[in-house]
Chains A and B, each alone.
Chain A
């Protein structure tokens, strides 16, 4: 007993010296990053929250600060224009999220089911993901515009195609679909990675037991990849709220207010209407919504995600 104890305490002493050295090195390695993180993420986050309870008007004039309580938030929930932009954000998500989730899965499923030149096909669908949204918007505006060869072709065939980006009703779903086109490759690739992990013995066993293809998808594949679905769902919902670039590039919030979603409205409120605190409060509301979505998913995950 005694013999054993001694070496242990000795190593303990040793590790504590070594541990101190490790601590020093650890902080040496991470402190530059932590400083940057604090300056560009930590402090801004705190400022954002504090500012939404103040009365800052012009972003560079910080004199005359006053605590106004919930006044900015009351304004958000009583101002029709802001509420409408919030509603449009949800409408956008309601188009974007289901389409990108289903399309991403279907494409991955087809790719995984054995096709020729799988890698080349995968790249082909992924390509728009890396493209520049503003340049892409230039192309789409021409393609969907009044004189575009596609529109003329359709007219010659006797159709009367609407000008999608200039229609009050269709502009928002169109922008969402262009966004899906751009990002679906990412969902597909992530799903593809998950599908390849589904053990083939399991599928073969089910096939021998007489499960139809649809049953195999429903009862084996979908449950097996549910962690991926969970991950993609959250990131797609959060991604769908961050649609400033896509909308600013394609429609700038128009026609009228048809595509003025929260992200566009926040920038407008802060940088052209100079109501900095109100804009901060709007961003804070979006942050809370994202948190709620994440929490609901987190809870739900335990129920429907099978590892």
Chain B
């Protein structure tokens, strides 16, 4: 009975491993191909390890005269960093208000925010264009940064995690004469770091991967972001498979590495708080 159970466990493990490997095969193919000369990418039979590994594709990516790839990369890094930095403070500050202050009208407003979560984003794209134009942030990265700071989802999740911090901790500080601002900054914010880290990581992936935003609201080539850039690049060099794979690699690598090092925050963040809504 026990050995039967063990063999089932092994079989299941192998099975899941195969699914996992298959689902990550595109990434393996990409990384392997990015070190191949273009002719070798499509060579059959296929090798994981390139015959003659080369850095040529990466060099070409950042030195070619048509596409300003390094500028797109720089823009995306700055835009993502700004989004995360602003969001961490902006969203946690708001969540504190909803979680730890008992003011009148709170529940009604929170309900409005929650129901706004159900509005599909597609309906916003045209009016937002007009608003960005009137605020003079159209064709700048602020058109991507500012709307993504209004993230109801994370206001909701951080509120949950702030509520779960026992009242007694902030009560003591209150008796000592601490204001809400001080309690937020000195007590709640540090205690909620794991939840805030989860938010930072998800914001990183969402901003880094956003395609629709830059596609619709940014028109100047030099202000463009990587997602749009990599599409331009790959449709411009349609036969140069090695270069395309190198482009995909430099776009995907930061995010895959971030994931590998911070899986805990990604996955447990979702598993523990994702469903309570």
Binding site for B on A (CB under 8 A): 19, 22-30, 32-34, 36-37, 39-45, 47-48, 51, 59-60, 107, 110-111, 113-117, 119, 121-128, 130-143, 147-150, 152-153, 156, 181, 186, 189-190, 192-194, 227-228, 231, 238, 241-242, 244-245, 248-249, 262-263, 266-267, 270-271, 276, 279-280, 283-284, 286-287, 290-291, 294
Contact = CB atoms under 8 A, between A and B. Distances in A.
Contacts of A121: 13, 16-17, 20
Interface string B1-43: 0000000011011011101110110110110010000000111
* Dominant secondary structure at the A interface: helix
B101 A132 contact: no
10 contacts: A26-B106, A29-B96, A34-B109, A130-B255, A131-B255, A134-B231, A142-B42, A143-B26, A192-B271, A283-B123
B84 to A, nearest CB: 15
Contacts of B128: 40, 44
Interface residues of B, number: 99
A29 B159 CA distance: 13
Nearest to B124: A44
A225 B213 CA distance: 36
Pairs A-B, 7 closest by C-beta atoms: A26-B103, A29-B97, A124-B20, A193-B271, A44-B127, A47-B127, A149-B46
A129 to B, nearest CB: 8
B193 to A, nearest CB: 19
A135 B149 contact: no
Nearest to A150: B46
B97 A138 contact: no
Contacts of B226: 132
A190 B259 CA distance: 17
Nearest to B5: A114
Contacts of A270: 125-126
Contacts of B75: none
Given A125-B19, A238-B120, A249-B211, A190 B26 contact: no
Contacts of B155: 33
A271 B218 CA distance: 13
Given A152-B44, A190-B270, A22 B102 contact: yes
Nearest to B119: A45
A142 B274 CA distance: 35
Given A123-B267, A124-B20, A287-B120, 11 more contacts: A19-B103, A36-B90, A37-B152, A44-B131, A47-B127, A117-B13, A130-B256, A135-B248, A249-B211, A280-B126, A283-B123
A181 B44 CA distance: 25
Contacts of A266: 122, 125
Contacts, number: 292
Interface string B226-263: 11101100100000010011011101100110111001
Nearest to A228: B275
A42 B98 CA distance: 19
Given A23-B104, A279-B126, A238 B255 contact: no
Interface string B263-277: 100110011101101
B209 interface: yes
A180 to B, nearest CB: 10
Interface in B124-173: 124-131, 133, 135, 146-147, 149-150, 152, 155
Contact of B126 (A26, A262, A283): A283
